[in-house]
Amino acid sequence: MSQKIMAINSGSSSLKFQLFSMPEEELLVKCLFERIGLGQGLTFTYTYQGVKEKMAIAGNTHADAVAYLLDFLLAKEIVADLKEIVAVGHRVAHGGETFQSASLIEEAELQQIEALSPLAPLHNPVNAMGIKAFQKALPHCRQVAVFDTSFHQTMAAKNYIYPIPYKYYEEDGIRRYGFHGTSHAYVAQEAAKHLNKDLADLKIITCHLGNGASLCGIANGESVITSMGFTPLAGLMMGTRCGDIDPSILPFLQKNKGLSSEDIDRMINHESGLLGVSEISSDFRDVMEGDVSQYDGNPELAVDIFTTKVKQTIGSYAAELGGLDVLIFTAGLGENSYEIRRDSCQGLEFLGLEIDPEKNFTNQLIISTENSKIPVMVVPTNEELMIVRDTFEILGA
Ligand code: ADP
């Protein structure tokens, strides 16, 4: 018998919701609440039976959004009774070393998620708030947390310990955690399915290239190495984040420019990356397709740094995995930008990888040539479906 399961992604000012019927993975309805906490009412957008509508509604908190959502499901007769919803799967940013996989949430787990807040101060507290709002509104439902970090808990210590005094790992939990785990795991599974291969037999590199961007090297279906680190700032250059840089630049600027630690934090998280180098925008479309002649920035250089970094990381992960069977692109840029994919692969021909320009231009599922030793794929990510799959699996267990 089918079961209805929700996927929830709560941010500080938004709440995203999807309802699926499982196991057939049918998406029933998709909703988005925005402007939470601003004290000016909420905006509510839903997509149901092919119709998309956006409206202003009353309310200010996550709990207000949840209450509205449940009324909406009943009013639209998407469910006849809220008891039809058996579980809610929540995206939670940080599971630290506590959560090696998705987990059923009872009181103890909720406290553990809150205790991990120092590692993700912008995300874990709001994720916990979302869980509490649903616990209260749907007491009959089981709540499950799916963590951005847990997929990467399979990394070996050599790939997660930083070469700084070991006591900072032991005392403060400073290590590489990695993020986007749900997305990397999902596209790897989907690719194996499409290729009719066993995931366990494949060495895969997944490139999640969106506003936030990370790569993951996967073997045996497990994360071996990933580019984000202690925080989602590390690794590739991103829309506004600098990615990996020489760490001594920061104390140097602090001293010589008189910057505070808040100034530095803002600079590396919000003023760097594509925005910082191009001096135009943090959005690749603005930089690559817009009329940039009116600016004196460095749009070409910025994009060049980005794709060079992606290519270098692919090369180093192929070395770490000892080979490569599949290369996957996903997320906003990975799914839509043939130029970013083309330039990120340029120079990787020595691996036996060959892009078909026509297939690449039209965003085909497989964009490599028939002769390419390594299939290169474009697999749309779907973190909500992965959350619901994990939740469904936990209910079964
Ligand atoms: P996030 O979820 O991390 O906010 P997305 O995965 O939505 O980010 O990716 C956003 C990036 O993808 C932006 O830089 C945007 O310009 C780029 N992007 C989205 N759609 C397209 C497209 N059709 N062509 C080129 N770039 C695109």
One fold for both 3-147 and 196-378? Answer: yes
CB 11 less than 6 A from any atom of ligand 1: no
Residue 14, CB-side half-sphere exposure with 13 Å CA sphere: 10
What pLDDT digit, counting tens, does each position of 107-165 carry? 999 999 999 998 888 889 999 999 999 999 999 999 999 999 999 999 999 999 999 99
Question: CA separation (Å) from 186 to 101, 222, 320, 383?
Answer: 14, 12, 21, 7
CB 212 less than 6 A from any atom of ligand 1: yes
What pLDDT digit, counting tens, does each position of 303-347 carry? 999 999 999 999 999 999 999 999 999 999 999 999 999 999 999
| CA 387, chain centre distance (Å) | 12
Overall average pLDDT of the 170-187 stretch = 97
What pLDDT digit, counting tens, does each position of 97-123 carry? 999 999 999 999 999 999 999 888 888
What pLDDT digit, counting tens, does each position of 67-99 carry? 999 999 999 999 999 999 999 999 999 999 999
Catalytic residue set = 148
Q: Using CA positions, which residue lies closest to atom 23 of ligand 1?
A: 336
Q: Where are the domains of the chain?
A: 3-147, 196-378
CA of 211 to the centre of ligand 1 (A): 6
What pLDDT digit, counting tens, does each position of 336-381 carry? 999 999 999 999 999 999 999 999 999 999 999 999 999 999 999 9
Class of domain 3-147: alpha beta
pLDDT given for residue 2 in this prediction: 87
* Type of residue numbered 244: D
Considering the entire predicted model, what is its pTM? 0.94
CATH topology of domain 196-378: Nucleotidyltransferase; domain 5 (3.30.420)
DSSP 3-state percent helix, strand, coil across the chain (nearest 5): 40, 20, 35
Q: Is the pLDDT of residue 290 over 80?
A: no
Ligand 1, residue 212: give the atom nearest the CA. 3
CB 232 less than 6 A from any atom of ligand 1: no
pLDDT given for residue 396 in this prediction: 86
